[in-house]
Amino acid sequence: MAAGEEPLEPCCKDMAAALSFETGRHFFVEDGALRLLVAHTPLLDGGEAELENVVRYCPFCGKPTEAMFEH
Ligand SMILES: [Zn+2]
For 53, residues 6+ apart whose C-beta sits below 8 A from its C-beta are 35, 36, 38
| Per-residue tens of pLDDT for the chain, all 71 residues | 445 455 688 999 999 988 887 666 688 888 889 999 888 889 999 998 988 999 999 999 999 999 998 86
Centre of ligand 1 to C-alpha 54, Å, is 15
Q: Which pLDDT does position 47 carry in this prediction?
A: 93
| Three-class SS state of 57 | strand
Q: Which pLDDT does position 41 carry in this prediction?
A: 87
| Three-class SS state of 52 | strand
pTM: 0.68
Q: Which pLDDT does position 1 carry in this prediction?
A: 43
Centre of ligand 1 to C-alpha 7, Å, is 16
Q: Which pLDDT does position 40 carry in this prediction?
A: 83
